[in-house]
Amino acid sequence: MALRHRDSAGEPRTQDVFEPTGRTPPRATEARAAVLAEAAADAGTAADLARRAGVSSGVVTGLEKAGALRRVKRRLDPPFDIPDPDRAGMNLTDGQKRAADELVSLVKRDAYAPVLLDGVTGSGKTEVYFEAIAEALRRSDSAQCLVLLPEIALTQAVTRRFAERFGAAPAVWHSDVSQVERRRVWREVAKGRARIVLGARSALFLPFTDLKAIVVDEEHDGSYKQDDGVVYNARDLAVARAKFAGASAILASATPSLETLVNARRGRYAHVQLPSRPGAATLPQTEAINLREQPPERDHWLSPALVKAVAETLERGEQSLLFLNRRGYAPLVICQACGHRMTSPETDSWLVEHRYTGRLVCHLTGFSMPKPKTCPECGAEDTLRPVGPGVERIEEEAKARFPEARVETFSSDSAQAPGEVRRLVSRMEAGEIDILVGTQIAAKGHNFPNLTLVGVIDADLGLKGGDLRAAERTYQLLVQVAGRAGRAARPGRALIQSYAPEHEAIQALIAGDRNAFIDAELEARQAYGLPPYGRLAAIVLSGPDQEKLDQWSRRMAAAAPVTDGVEIFGPAEPPIAVIRGRWRRRILARADPGIDLSAYIAAWRTRVKIPPSIRVQVDIDPYSFV
């Protein structure tokens, strides 16, 4: 899971470089002088020094023979700088210092200590857990700390904050890191020389030698769940690894998952709270816009109230964020002549139109094609029309309504590489963007001091479907995105467009009453025995023949062991029934607390011998029901 090549575990690779000895060569020439000057500035290989000095590599080897240069071995992957835990950090408020002291006291135990760091958006959770990391590093010269992030896009900003606090950048681990750098990180972690690691969920599998603290930032985020290959939840695995290592596990969030909150309420986790923002910063004023009463104009998506608010924000010289968690220009392309919907080949997933590239893309399988000029079903020309908005369409409307404003889109399509993310975030921080149109990549972890207005285009989007966590996820996402506003001295405002503003998640957000929403959600979960008051497991069967798949899915469900406290639902067709030519069926098992659901599933699978053409995937505690 963490290595791609066996040589990653070997000794560091080296190369020969040349550095000055201080001796003057017997025959001084301009070429030799140029090489010596370059070598004094920075040692390099013969080819490198020759290129920089504008001479042949023979001049370099000649200087070595003359004793003016010496050949030394230099590591291709040098060690990471050592962080300084005693380097001065930001001045903490009294509330932040109390929270930091609680975390530090847990770290000082040198034992397993799970804790929920529960702070409102902008309350300074990062600065608080920095103090816990500093204490862990002080405990031992070999101590190591791991910080997990849900989004690669957050890595650049958080790396900078680590460098400012500890005087050294952390080792970074995620899918966009080069293979050379992955070898370096793996090797330095295994040797105990990488003291702080900042990474995605797979960083949990690095070979730490003296792990003292694990931080799971935004612990509620669904990105921590891996649904393919080896299925696991990095949040839960981080707690398990901390227990094995005898380390602290800090789960940080402004909107903790219900599972984590219940563990804190039951005393299984310590609970450290940050209920307010520091200084003059306050939580944004949040209002709902009822789209049934204030609908946008035809073929537009911004309501009159939101348009007015953006205009007022621009007049004050402040920034706005228009949030829609949907990539591309439109989520569906349909033929006006025959009603045909463009879908991915051998897949039920709709093709998303991307206007910038002129392509239709399946975000599930990665399939991509140019947008055709004729309907593939009826052959009619110029009848394929976009349906619904994506962020590109919102950007188009914002530019049309506010032609003088500087408008940009922030999504995983518009900013794919870490460098692109860094540059866009820097422009936003510098005030070079007036209106930012973003997906959830813009809702997490960013601090834009001049951003005072957040407009949510479609708050109902996440409430659709049969996901048991739909309301919880919607509430978490809305809190996170609304929390981008008013993070400095200027007050913030969040406007939530919805056709169902009476929904408890939206009402709780407006009232600022998180506990009311949590209590209502927990009461409903408890009534049905759903997590965290029960456990779920999904068994997904897939095969190329629909009839044969249905037959074996029914056999599988019928073979389930009859056990008190376990209920079986299905088989049923999931929302996306076909992926890459394979039909899919889902069986769901719900178990009471105390039942070993993994063992139950293992025993169940031995009762049916599924043919090779049908694949079976088991997902304990599923997060996706697609």
Q: Given this model, what pLDDT does residue 376 score?
A: 93
Per-residue pLDDT at 183: 84
- pLDDT band at residue 27 using 50, 70 and 90 as cut-offs: confident
Token representation of residue 4 = 């791609």
> What value does the mean pLDDT take over residues 590-619?
94
The Cα–Cα gap between 215 and 239 comes to: 10
- Examine the pLDDT at 616 and tell me if it is beyond 80: yes
Q: Is the pLDDT of residue 359 over 90?
A: yes
Categorize the per-residue pLDDT at 242 as very low, low, confident or very high, splitting at 50, 70 and 90: very high
Reference 254, options 389, 438, 120, 427; nearest CA is 120
Q: What is the pTM of this model?
A: 0.85
What's residue 412's pLDDT? 80
pLDDT > 90 fraction of the chain, expressed in percent and rounded:
71
Distance CA 383, CA 337 (A): 6
**What average pLDDT does this structure show over 319-347?**
93
Q: Where residue 343 falls among pLDDT bands split at 50, 70, 90?
A: very high
- Rounded distance between C-alpha atoms, residue 396 and residue 184, angstroms: 44
- What amino acid is encoded at 301 in this protein? W
The CATH architecture that domain 285-326+389-525 belongs to is: 3-Layer(aba) Sandwich (3.40)
Q: How confident is the model at residue 280, as a pLDDT? A: 61
pLDDT tens, 73-90? 887 777 899 999 999 888
Q: Is the predicted pLDDT of residue 20 greater than 70, yes or no? A: yes
Q: In which order are the strands placed within the sheet that holds 352-354?
A: 352-354, 359-361, 368-370
pLDDT of 5 higher than 60: no
For residues 482 and 121, give the distance between their C-alpha atoms in angstroms, rounded to a whole number: 9
Task: Indicate whether 310 pLDDT > 60.
Answer: yes
**What's the Cα-to-Cα distance from 295 to each of 289, 438, 506, rounded to whole Å?**
9, 21, 18
Predicted confidence at residue 595, as pLDDT, reads 94
Q: State the burial class of residue 143 (Cβ atoms within 10 Å of its Cβ: 0-12, 13-18, 19+).
A: buried
Pairing mode of beta strands 211-217, 144-148:
parallel
Helix (H, G, I), strand (E, B) or coil at 609: coil
Q: Which helix (H) or strand (E) holds 139?
A: helix 125-139
Buried b (16+ CB within 10 A) or exposed e, 352-370: bbbbeeeebbbbbeebeee
For all residues of the chain together, what is the average pLDDT?
91
Q: What is the mean pLDDT of residues 210-227?
A: 94
Model confidence pLDDT, tens digit, residues 142-152? 999 999 998 87
CB 289 within 8 A of CB 504: no
pLDDT at 421: 79
DSSP state of 138: H
* 446 or 616, higher pLDDT: 616
Residue 4 — very low, low, confident or very high, per pLDDT cuts 50/70/90? low
Look at residue 153 and tell me whether its pLDDT is greater than 80. no
Q: Say what the pLDDT of residue 10 is.
A: 62
Domain definitions of the chain by residue range = 6-75, 94-274, 285-326+389-525, 535-620
pLDDT > 70? residue 251: yes
Under 8 Å between Cβ of 439 and 328? no
Domain 94-274 shares a fold with domain 535-620: no
pLDDT of residue 184: 87
pLDDT of residue 528: 92
- By C-alpha distance, which of 305, 299, 378 is closest to 342? 378
* Per-residue confidence band for 416, with pLDDT thresholds at 50, 70 and 90: low
What percent of the chain lies above the pLDDT cut of 70? 97
Q: What is the pLDDT of residue 619?
A: 92
Classify domain 535-620 at the CATH superfamily level. Answer: Ribosomal protein S10 (3.30.70.600)
Please choose, from the candidates 449, 452, 508, 450, the residue with its C-alpha nearest in 3D space to the C-alpha of residue 478: 508
Confidence at residue 1, expressed as pLDDT on a 0 to 100 scale: 59
More confident residue, 542 or 7: 542
Say how far apart CA 481 and CA 439 lie, in whole Å: 9
Tell me the three-class secondary structure of 216-252, residue by residue: EECCCCHHHEECCCCCEEHHHHHHHHHHHHCCEEEEE
Please give the CATH topology (third level) of the domain spanning 94-274.
Rossmann fold (3.40.50)
Residue type, 227: D
